[in-house]
Amino acid sequence: MNFEGKLAAFQGIKTPFFYYDMELLQATIDEVKACIKDTNFHVHYAMKANVNEPLLKQIKKNGFGADCVSGNEIKRALSVGFLPEDIVFAGVGKSDEEIAYALDQDIFAFNCESLQEIEVINEFAKERKQIAKVALRLNPNVDPETHQYITTGLSENKFGISLDDLDAIFDQFPKWKHIRIEGIHFHIGSQVTKLEKYIELCERVNDLVLHFDDKGIKLTYINLGGGLGIDYENPEKNPIAPFKEYFGNVKKHLKVSPEMSIHFELGRSIVGQCGSLITKVLYTKDGASTNFLIVDGGMTELIRPALYQAHHKIISFAETNLEKKYDVVGPICETSDFFGKGITMNYSNRGDLIAILSAGAYAQVMASNYNLRDRAESVYSDQLT
Ligand SMILES: *Cc1c(COP(=O)(O)O)cnc(C)c1O
């Protein structure tokens, strides 16, 4: 996120707004492309991280597919040009309408999360005289050691098919005439920074592929999901996620037939760092123990701190050599409506602009108009003069 030469333009824009550094997005995409060049790796961008059209178009243009978790995300993906054969559909609770829609579009894969879901898809495909292409989302019981609310691959989580239920699937498989199991899918959680967790996942997958072989199910691909974490502490120093190590681990530790393709679903690591929430100081309020910076953006724009105690780096554009320690809080009538506490930053006053960094993923997509607030605008670096 490079703000150089942009501050003058920022002055004229209604705050709060989301600012997207499209050059950083491209640099991030280029790094991924360099890592997967000459491999059988395919990246599907996890749309739930950010669905703004300029970002989607840039991602599509670079050859990535889309990972969707709702019928409307599939619609959005198709509308910006993603092809059905590059779209995967995940989600623990797909509705009948969503399943019917996805079948009608003939997408690349349903990532199925329960036995009952497979039965429903089989029925719907039968009515349409279609064969639904399916990947089984298996719960590998790998602890990603991230925040408990974004952990998904433990047996206590609602996601995926428990390995204990696999035998039931193998038993019933022959009677599902309208399902073709082509792949297996995993997603252990989000904001995973311990990359050795993916080694553990690869080892689990190696065993499972052998197990499917034994049962006579020929898989054509593995989908390892997403979850690669980004540096929320030092985003300026590490604007690009450690893709080399991440993909390198998979190259080294996933031991499956070279004929199989390997799919990834990356969300946060693609778009997280290119977005910032720009907000203005409304008031300062110094208390006995705490100095508050009350800004015009709040949890309605960025709910991550309130939702899962997420940390975001905050900087002030105030021009001064003085520093002060602040609690940066929003205007919403909730005590959890804050961006950071005890943050040392430039001494700031009413009217100064503040940037909440690393707000490209799971920020604007989760915005609400609680308190009947207006929606924040989106501003793109390549459209700013
Ligand atoms: C959310 C999600 C992703 C993307 O996760 P990131 O942490 O943003 O990379 C990938 N796959 C599935 C199934 C998901 O639910």
DSSP string, 304-363: HHHHH-----EEE----S-EEEEEEE-SSS-TT-EEEEEEEEE---TT-EEEE-S-SSSS
At 153 the pLDDT is 66
Using CA atoms, how far apart are residues 169 and 153, in angstroms rounded to an integer? Answer: 19
Q: What percent of the chain has pLDDT over 90?
A: 86
> For residue 49, which atom of ligand 1 is closest to its CA?
8
Q: Is the CB of 46 under 6 A from ligand 1?
A: yes
> Ligand 1 center to residue 286 CA distance, Å?
41
Q: Is the CB of 90 under 6 A from ligand 1?
A: yes
Q: What percent of the chain has pLDDT over 70?
A: 99
Using CA atoms, how far apart are residues 179 and 102, in angstroms rounded to an integer? Answer: 14
Q: Is the CB of 268 under 6 A from ligand 1?
A: yes
Q: Is the CB of 49 under 6 A from ligand 1?
A: yes
Residue nearest to atom 11 of ligand 1 (CA): 225
Longest dimension (CA), the chain: 72
> Ligand 1 center to residue 51 CA distance, Å?
14
> For residue 152, which atom of ligand 1 is closest to its CA?
15
Using CA atoms, how far apart are residues 138 and 163, in angstroms rounded to an integer? Answer: 7
Is the pLDDT at 318 greater than 90? The verdict is yes
Using CA atoms, how far apart are residues 62 and 96, in angstroms rounded to an integer? Answer: 32
At 180 the pLDDT is 95
The band of 147, judged by pLDDT with boundaries at 50, 70 and 90, is confident
At 371 the pLDDT is 95
> Ligand 1 center to residue 9 CA distance, Å?
34
Best mutation site among 190, 195, 266 for ligand 1, i.e. most ligand atoms within 8 A of its Cβ? 190
Mean pLDDT taken over the chain: 95
Q: Where are the alpha helices (DSSP H) in 80-164?
A: 96-105, 115-127
Beta-bridged to residue 43, according to DSSP, are: 264
- H/E element, 262: strand 261-266
In the chain the domains, ranked by start, together with CATH numbers, are: 7-15+273-383 (2.40.37.10), 22-272 (3.20.20.10)
At 294 the pLDDT is 98
> Ligand 1 center to residue 69 CA distance, Å?
9
At 3 the pLDDT is 92
Using CA atoms, how far apart are residues 258 and 67, in angstroms rounded to an integer? Answer: 23
At 43 the pLDDT is 98
CB 31 within 8 A of CB 270: no
At 119 the pLDDT is 96
Is the pLDDT at 276 greater than 90? The verdict is yes
Task: Look up residue 304 and give its two tokens.
Answer: 């991550």
Using CA atoms, how far apart are residues 163 and 155, in angstroms rounded to an integer? Answer: 9
Residue nearest to atom 7 of ligand 1 (CA): 227
- Mean pLDDT, rounded, for 80-102: 97
> Ligand 1 center to residue 372 CA distance, Å?
30
> Ligand 1 center to residue 46 CA distance, Å?
6
Q: Is the CB of 190 under 6 A from ligand 1?
A: yes
CA dihedral 56, 59, 62, 68 (to 10 degrees): -90
pLDDT tens, residue by residue, 192-251: 999 999 999 999 999 999 999 999 899 999 999 999 999 999 999 999 999 999 999 999
Residue nearest to atom 3 of ligand 1 (CA): 226
b/e per residue 358-373 (b: at least 16 CB within 10 A) = bbbbbbbbebeeeeeb
Residue 185's SS3 state is: strand
pLDDT tens, residue by residue, 38-75: 999 999 999 999 999 999 999 999 999 999 999 999 99
Is the pLDDT at 141 greater than 90? The verdict is no
At 149 the pLDDT is 73
Under 8 Å CB-to-CB from 365, ≥6 apart: which residues? 48, 49, 50, 51
Beta-bridged to residue 262, according to DSSP, are: 41, 222
pLDDT tens, residue by residue, 288-305: 889 999 999 999 999 999
Is the pLDDT at 146 greater than 90? The verdict is no
Using CA atoms, how far apart are residues 88 and 346, in angstroms rounded to an integer? Answer: 45
Is the pLDDT at 152 greater than 80? The verdict is no
DSSP-derived pairing of the beta strands 179-185 and 132-139: parallel
Report the 10 Å Cβ neighbour count for 282.
15
Is the pLDDT at 115 greater than 70? The verdict is yes
At 67 the pLDDT is 98
At 85 the pLDDT is 98
Task: Look up residue 71 and give its two tokens.
Answer: 């019928």
